[in-house]
A and B are shown apart, each in its own frame.
Chain A
Amino acid sequence: MADGSRAVPTEEATLQPRIVTVDVSDGSWFTRERISMVAVLVVVLAVWEAAGRIVGTFFLPPPTSLVGATRELVASGDLFRELAKSLQTLGVGYLFSALVGVGFGFVFGWYKLVGRVANPFINALYVVPVSALVPLVIVWFGLGIFPRILVVFLFSVFEILIASMNGVANVDRTIVEVARSFGVRSQWDMFRKIVFFNALPFVFTGLRIGASRAVKGMIIGELLFAVTGIGGLIDKYSNAYRTDIVFVLIVVITLLGVAVNYLVQLLHARIAPWNQ
């Protein structure tokens, strides 16, 4: 077109409304992203399989050998019995750690003086390697469920506490001014209408990191207690030279971690949809 640069919309041009919501889910699960992920997984499994067959199934059990191992583990009743115990420890420990972490984090973030006093102590406790405390925990509390819950708690609480504290303390000053200028006066209103919501994205970041650490705490606790849960099974089967079953257990732990993370993300999307 000779005059293309000066083209103006013609009468017939059909304009779209400003906002159009269209259902783009064509029902197909096979998006480009998912196909790529599956492809990567297939390659990894293939390499693992080949490597396993070369170095020997004891050192690196190939994926195909894990099918039988899984069947054996399930059939013995070990997997679900011990998984239930592990989940119990994880659930209770993580729940406490979320309550305590968010609760104290909010208090330390909101009351600046308390926060400043607590901060060096929190930092000190945060850098203590919790695994080193496990033997002490056993000495103090024995081998029951409580000390295991405590280990999960200690592993995850600081991440949650520090994130929640930062979320409350680092509220955007302009937003506080907006709130004040529109009549938010009481500290309580400022907290429940502004600071709380401002902190939520931080809280969920803390909860997610905390969840991963809680799973690690659970396993480390169980390994060192060496009597129960998935960690206990790892101990039992590695002593029996069943590396294939140990691999299955590692896969189970991985799936558990992914699942917990996913649950926290679901909760995040539900409670703080603006932050997605």
Chain B
Amino acid sequence: MNLFASSSHGTPERERVERAGLDLGTDAARSSSLVLEGVGKRFERKHGRSVTYTHALQDISFRVAEHEFVSIIGPSGCGKTTLIRLIAGLIPHTTGSISLEGQPISGPGPDRAMVFQHAALLPWRTVLENVQLGLEQLRVPADQRKERARAAIRLVGLQEFSSHYPKELSGGMQQRVGLARALAVNPKVLLMDEPFGALDAITRMQMQDELLRLWEAERKTVVFITHDIEEALLISDRIIVLDKSGTFKAAYEIPFPRPRRRDELLASPEFIRERTHLTHML
């Protein structure tokens, strides 16, 4: 592993990072749920007689344990969104393998549910109908479908808005619906693609706190894409850093105990140290 070939940080730091890393023998002995090995994605664009290949991602390997919250961060254009779309099975990977509980991923499936960047709700469906989308495809009977959708909506605190259309909701509320839609199918892995990136700062904080609370109660396996270092440090167990060239840069275990509280954590010297460290790495 050449994680810190160019890093200027001290040895204790390095040890901790390596422990959190890739080797399957150590910590990864705990049940890994999602496994990526040597994953790469190449896009092709034909123009005239030539073809341009874009290597969006190359040689990405990491594991996500069950009940683990892993954030993937990296500069914009580093392939974060491509990576999560590969895991979601929305686009095929060109090299390597992705598997979930031993099953190779070859397309979208109910074991994974995605929260999209801009909520991406169906404008013609009410909140309740939007949340039922995945359940309909799973052939859940109508009455159970409604009940499960209502439970998910309650979880994100939108029960009063069940019969509203998306355009009648604020950005933060729309994203809550996006989260409820994903939670309703009870996936093994929740995939979140910069879900709070488009929200204003105050709403983003509220959503982060809420996600933190929800996650600490439910402990779902989560892969979370973000470019916000504080967000990643606040919520996740582990951070995977991608290089701007679309390659793996580092895996990084977050030492803060849970339950976490924003106001305590953000002011602590440890947090500031970690944030500085990560900032340098990016």
Q: Which residues of A contact B (CB under 8 A)?
A: 18-19, 174-175, 177-185, 189, 193-194, 197-198, 200, 272-275
Closest 8 CB pairs of A and B: A183-B137, A182-B134, A197-B124, A274-B165, A181-B114, A174-B120, A181-B108, A178-B120
Q: Is the CB of A183 within 8 A of B116?
A: no
Given A175-B120, A197-B124, A272-B124, verify A182-B181 contact (CB < 8 Å).
Answer: yes
* Mask: chain B, 102-133; 1 = CB below 8 Å from A; 0 = not: 00000011101110101010111100000001
* Mask: chain B, 163-193; 1 = CB below 8 Å from A; 0 = not: 0010100000000000001000100000000
Residue of B nearest to A189 (CB): B137
Q: Is the CB of A180 within 8 A of B110?
A: no
Nearest Cβ in chain A — how far from B118, in angstroms?
7
Can you list 23 pairs linking A and B with CB atoms under 8 Å apart? A19-B160, A19-B161, A174-B116, A177-B120, A178-B116, A178-B133, A179-B133, A181-B90, A181-B112, A182-B113, A182-B133, A182-B137, A183-B110, A183-B134, A183-B137, A184-B137, A193-B133, A197-B122, A197-B124, A198-B124, A273-B165, A274-B125, A275-B124
Check B88 for interface membership: any CB of A closer than 8 A.
Answer: yes
Q: Which residues of chain B (70-119) have a CB below 8 Å from chain A?
A: 85, 88-90, 108-110, 112-114, 116, 118
Given A183-B138, A194-B122, verify A18-B167 contact (CB < 8 Å).
Answer: no
Q: Which residues of B contact A194 (CB under 8 A)?
A: 122
Q: How far is the CA of A197 from the CA of B123 in the complex (A)?
A: 9
Highest count of chain B CB atoms <10 Å: which of A177, A182, A183: A182
Q: Which residues of B contact A (CB under 8 A)?
A: 85, 88-90, 108-110, 112-114, 116, 118, 120, 122-125, 133-134, 136-138, 160-161, 165, 167, 181, 185
Q: How far is the CA of A181 from the CA of B89 in the complex (A)?
A: 8
A18, A19, A178: the one within 8 Å of B122 (CB): A178
Residue of A nearest to B167 (CB): A274
Q: Is the CB of A174 within 8 A of B118?
A: yes
Q: Is the CB of A274 within 8 A of B90?
A: no
Q: Which residues of A contact B161 (CB under 8 A)?
A: 19
Q: How far is the CA of A194 from the CA of B116 in the complex (A)?
A: 17
Q: Is the CB of B120 within 8 A of A182?
A: no
Nearest Cβ in chain B — how far from A50, in angstroms?
47
